[in-house]
Amino acid sequence: MPIINLKVSGKENSALAKELAKEISSITKDVLNKKPEVTVVTVSFVPDELWFVNSASLAELKTNSFHLDIKISDSTNLKSDKASYIAAIHNSLSSHLGIIHPVSYTAINEMKADAYGYEGLTIEYKYINNQKK
Protein backbone atom coordinates (compact mmCIF):
# COMPACT_ATOMS: atom_id res chain seq x y z
CA MET A 1 0.00 0.00 0.00
CA PRO A 2 2.84 2.49 0.20
CA ILE A 3 3.57 4.65 -2.80
CA ILE A 4 7.05 6.08 -2.81
CA ASN A 5 8.20 8.93 -5.03
CA LEU A 6 11.95 9.45 -5.12
CA LYS A 7 13.64 12.42 -6.73
CA VAL A 8 17.37 12.07 -7.18
CA SER A 9 19.79 14.71 -8.39
CA GLY A 10 21.80 13.92 -11.48
CA LYS A 11 21.40 12.52 -14.96
CA GLU A 12 18.74 9.92 -15.70
CA ASN A 13 20.07 6.41 -15.06
CA SER A 14 17.65 3.49 -15.37
CA ALA A 15 20.07 0.97 -13.82
CA LEU A 16 20.53 3.19 -10.76
CA ALA A 17 16.76 3.78 -10.59
CA LYS A 18 16.10 0.03 -10.51
CA GLU A 19 18.77 -0.50 -7.84
CA LEU A 20 17.33 2.32 -5.69
CA ALA A 21 13.76 1.05 -6.10
CA LYS A 22 14.83 -2.43 -4.96
CA GLU A 23 16.75 -1.05 -1.96
CA ILE A 24 13.95 1.31 -0.92
CA SER A 25 11.35 -1.46 -1.19
CA SER A 26 13.52 -3.67 1.00
CA ILE A 27 13.98 -0.98 3.65
CA THR A 28 10.25 -0.22 3.57
CA LYS A 29 9.48 -3.90 4.18
CA ASP A 30 12.12 -4.39 6.89
CA VAL A 31 11.64 -1.16 8.85
CA LEU A 32 8.00 -0.21 8.31
CA ASN A 33 6.74 -3.77 7.80
CA LYS A 34 5.05 -2.94 4.48
CA LYS A 35 4.18 -5.64 1.97
CA PRO A 36 6.46 -5.56 -1.11
CA GLU A 37 3.69 -6.84 -3.40
CA VAL A 38 1.73 -3.61 -2.89
CA THR A 39 4.69 -1.20 -2.65
CA VAL A 40 5.13 1.16 -5.61
CA VAL A 41 8.32 3.14 -6.20
CA THR A 42 8.76 5.82 -8.83
CA VAL A 43 12.16 7.37 -9.44
CA SER A 44 12.80 10.63 -11.25
CA PHE A 45 16.02 12.50 -11.84
CA VAL A 46 16.58 16.25 -11.62
CA PRO A 47 19.72 17.70 -13.25
CA ASP A 48 22.20 19.12 -10.73
CA GLU A 49 21.96 22.57 -12.28
CA LEU A 50 18.17 22.59 -11.67
CA TRP A 51 18.27 21.55 -7.98
CA PHE A 52 18.87 24.45 -5.60
CA VAL A 53 19.68 24.72 -1.91
CA ASN A 54 19.68 28.30 -0.61
CA SER A 55 19.78 29.54 -4.24
CA ALA A 56 22.94 27.57 -5.09
CA SER A 57 22.67 24.67 -7.51
CA LEU A 58 23.97 21.24 -6.62
CA ALA A 59 26.30 21.63 -9.62
CA GLU A 60 27.82 24.68 -7.91
CA LEU A 61 27.87 22.92 -4.54
CA LYS A 62 29.41 19.76 -6.07
CA THR A 63 27.10 17.48 -4.10
CA ASN A 64 24.09 15.23 -4.61
CA SER A 65 20.67 15.23 -3.05
CA PHE A 66 17.38 13.35 -2.88
CA HIS A 67 13.83 13.81 -1.77
CA LEU A 68 11.84 10.70 -0.86
CA ASP A 69 8.11 11.02 -0.28
CA ILE A 70 6.22 7.98 1.01
CA LYS A 71 2.50 7.62 1.64
CA ILE A 72 1.44 5.04 4.22
CA SER A 73 -1.73 4.33 6.18
CA ASP A 74 -2.22 6.51 9.24
CA SER A 75 -1.32 5.03 12.64
CA THR A 76 0.35 1.89 11.28
CA ASN A 77 3.85 2.71 12.53
CA LEU A 78 5.38 3.98 15.75
CA LYS A 79 7.42 7.20 15.91
CA SER A 80 10.52 5.08 16.46
CA ASP A 81 9.76 3.09 13.27
CA LYS A 82 9.50 6.30 11.27
CA ALA A 83 12.72 7.70 12.75
CA SER A 84 14.51 4.44 11.93
CA TYR A 85 13.12 4.54 8.38
CA ILE A 86 14.33 8.09 7.79
CA ALA A 87 17.82 7.16 9.05
CA ALA A 88 17.93 3.94 6.98
CA ILE A 89 16.86 5.75 3.79
CA HIS A 90 19.45 8.48 4.33
CA ASN A 91 22.24 5.95 4.97
CA SER A 92 21.27 3.81 1.98
CA LEU A 93 20.96 6.68 -0.47
CA SER A 94 24.22 8.18 0.80
CA SER A 95 25.99 4.91 0.01
CA HIS A 96 24.46 4.78 -3.50
CA LEU A 97 24.73 8.44 -4.47
CA GLY A 98 28.00 9.54 -2.89
CA ILE A 99 28.34 12.88 -1.15
CA ILE A 100 24.82 13.89 -0.05
CA HIS A 101 23.88 17.46 0.81
CA PRO A 102 22.61 17.64 4.42
CA VAL A 103 19.35 19.12 3.10
CA SER A 104 18.16 15.84 1.59
CA TYR A 105 14.68 14.93 2.76
CA THR A 106 12.54 11.90 3.56
CA ALA A 107 8.87 12.72 4.10
CA ILE A 108 6.45 10.18 5.55
CA ASN A 109 2.86 11.13 4.79
CA GLU A 110 0.29 9.25 6.83
CA MET A 111 -2.97 8.95 4.93
CA LYS A 112 -6.31 8.30 6.61
CA ALA A 113 -7.41 4.74 5.85
CA ASP A 114 -10.79 5.90 4.58
CA ALA A 115 -9.14 8.29 2.09
CA TYR A 116 -6.46 6.03 0.59
CA GLY A 117 -6.52 2.73 -1.24
CA TYR A 118 -5.94 0.57 -4.29
CA GLU A 119 -8.00 -1.82 -6.42
CA GLY A 120 -10.79 0.73 -6.06
CA LEU A 121 -11.13 -0.02 -2.33
CA THR A 122 -10.08 1.99 0.70
CA ILE A 123 -7.48 0.67 3.11
CA GLU A 124 -10.11 0.90 5.84
CA TYR A 125 -12.46 -1.36 3.86
CA LYS A 126 -9.64 -3.86 3.24
CA TYR A 127 -8.70 -3.86 6.94
CA ILE A 128 -12.27 -4.44 8.12
CA ASN A 129 -12.89 -7.08 5.47
CA ASN A 130 -9.69 -8.96 6.46
CA GLN A 131 -10.78 -8.99 10.12
CA LYS A 132 -13.87 -11.00 9.17
CA LYS A 133 -11.77 -13.82 7.73
Mind listing the pLDDT tens digit for each residue in 47-69? Answer: 999 999 999 999 999 999 999 99
The pLDDT of 66-94, averaged and rounded, is: 97
What does the pLDDT read at residue 47? 98
pLDDT over 80 at 132, yes or no = no
DSSP the chain: --EEEEEEESS--HHHHHHHHHHHHHHHHHHH---GGG-EEEEEEE-GGG-EETTEEHHHHT-B-EEEEEEEETTSS-HHHHHHHHHHHHHHHHHHHSSB-S--EEEEEEEPGGG-EETTEEHHHHHHHHHT-
Q: What is the pLDDT of residue 133?
A: 67
For the residues 28-44, what does the mean pLDDT come to?
97
Taking 90 as the threshold, does the pLDDT of residue 129 lie above it?
no
Is 3.30.429.10 the CATH number for 3-131? yes
Is the full-model pTM beyond 0.85?
A: yes
Give the domain ranges of the chain: 3-131
| Mean pLDDT, the chain, whole residue set | 95
Residue 123 has pLDDT above 90, yes or no: no
Residue 19: per-residue pLDDT: 98
What band does 4 get if pLDDT is binned at 50, 70 and 90?
Answer: very high
Q: What is the mean pLDDT of residues 14-23?
A: 98
